[in-house]
Amino acid sequence: MAPIIRCAIDNCKTTSVNKTPDVTFHRCPYNSEMSNKWLRVLKQRCTAFDSVDSKICSKHFELKYFDAQKKLKENAVPTLFSSASHSLSLRSIGKSDSGKTKIEKILNRMTQADLTADIKLNLAHLKEPMHLDSFVTDDLKCKSDAPNAANLWLMIKKQEHLNTRLMDLVVQTKKHVEILQKSMEESRLVKKEQEQNIESLKYIVKCLQEKQTTLEEQIEILTAVESR
Ligand SMILES: [Zn+2]
* pLDDT confidence of residue 98: 64
| pLDDT per residue as tens digits for the range 128-137 | 888 999 999 9
Ligand 1 centroid to residue 71 C-alpha, Å: 16
Give the Cα separation of 120 and 36 in Å (integer): 52
Nearest partner of 11 among 59, 82, 85, 78, judged by Cα: 82
Ligand 1 centroid to residue 20 C-alpha, Å: 12
Q: Tell me the pLDDT band of 37, cut-offs 50, 70 and 90.
A: very high
Residue 139, Cβ neighbours under 10 Å: how many? 5
For 35, counting Cβ atoms within 10 Å of its Cβ (0-12 exposed, 13-18 middle, 19+ buried), the class is: middle
- Are 38 and 78 spatial neighbours (Cβ–Cβ below 8 Å)? yes
Give the Cα separation of 26 and 16 in Å (integer): 12
Ligand 1 centroid to residue 34 C-alpha, Å: 19
| pLDDT per residue as tens digits for the range 71-129 | 999 999 999 987 544 444 444 444 455 677 888 888 888 887 788 888 888 888 888 88
* pLDDT confidence of residue 24: 94
